[in-house]
Amino acid sequence: MAVKEGWTGRVYEDFEEGDIYDHALGRTVLAADNVWFTLLTQNTNPIHFDHAYAATTEFKRPLVDSTFTLALVTGQSVSDISQNAMANLGWDDVRLPNPVFEGDTLYSRSEVLEKRESKSRPNVGIVRFRTTGFNQDGTVVIEFIRTVMVYRRGHVPQTAQNRQGPRPTSS
């Protein structure tokens, strides 16, 4: 039986300005996600976890913590754009044009805006992306620019999974 290598992500040379990646996985936001993330980040605004309070607002229901939305949509993009990142350099121009509610399913896509070689590190390049997150109705809920330092081909550190050597055997 042949061992076939799984997806290992893109490297700097794989990106071209104008490329668009529709990220494969959507994710339905659960009430537990919203409450846990709000508690983990010590966000005390009751609009995220107090249904009675939220009912008195113009939204009539809890809003999903916007930093959860940022984290989720960033995470959705990892397999396509930053699986082989050395580091995130920043998020810019984060916009939240529409709210996210518990029960919404979020999807995302990223566009390569620009790329350049690193001046200080020959093993990486720097790539800027515009990532857009949208709900099940196609309504944009978040958009941001993300700058990522990505390894160049041949410089991605090896992991235990992709090292050459003995493979586990079945018993």
122-142, pLDDT tens digit by residue? 999 999 999 999 999 999 999
Checking phi first, is residue 18 left (phi over 0); if not, alpha (psi -120 to 50) or beta?
A: left
At 8, is the pLDDT very low, low, confident or very high (cuts 50, 70, 90)?
confident
Hey, what domains does the chain have and what are their CATH numbers? 12-151 (3.10.129.10)
Residue 161 predicted with pLDDT over 70: no
pLDDT > 90 in the chain, percent: 86
The answer to whether 101 and 61 have CB atoms below 8 angstroms apart is: yes
Q: In the prediction, which pLDDT does 86 show?
A: 95
Alpha helices in 41-167 (DSSP H): 51-55, 66-77
Is residue 147 within 8 Å of residue 115, measured between CB atoms? Answer: no
**pLDDT tier for residue 110 given thresholds of 50, 70 and 90:** very high
166 token code pair? 């003995």
